[in-house]
Amino acid sequence: MADHQDRDLAERWLTNQRLVQPASRGPGERFTAPSGFDWSVYDAVLDLVLDSNTELNRAWSFAALLLNFAQDDQDIRNVAGHMLEPLLREHGTQLLPEVEARIQTDQRFRRALEGIYLYGPIEDLAVRHGIHRPLPT
């Protein structure tokens, strides 16, 4: 079970992401944070993903918490692209058993995997479960 601090961070991160409109900028245009965007929340989650060598279980649980709190498909896409994709890119091999278990039981997780780049054994696993097509070579 997630502690109060992670639940609060998850809710604040999703609120942050909802401020950013998809396709709100043109190609090559730099991101400009909308009014109310909290960079400290963004950075805290990014640090959790990138520094998860010491807290991999926490990062994995946090990704699941974000998916549980997601209110719609846009939230799921945000979690997938900004949290789950880098986590699996960096630690997919270590998380393989957890990913396989979640693929079999969690529809939101399956939807999240459909929209991100996957690598190595995670990609192979997703292909086997019919939720991902490999990129053409």
- For residues 58 and 91, the answer to whether their CB atoms sit within 8 Å is no
Tens-digit pLDDT profile for residues 17-37: 999 866 555 666 666 778 889
Q: Residue 74 falls within a domain, yes or no?
A: yes
Residue 137 placed within a domain: no
d(CA 118, CA 113): 8
pLDDT of the residue at 105: 94
| Domain of residue 91, residue span | 4-17+37-128
pLDDT in tens, 91-122: 999 999 999 999 999 999 999 999 898 988 99
Q: Is residue 59 part of a domain?
A: yes
> Number of folded domains in the chain?
1
Considering the entire predicted model, what is its pTM? 0.85
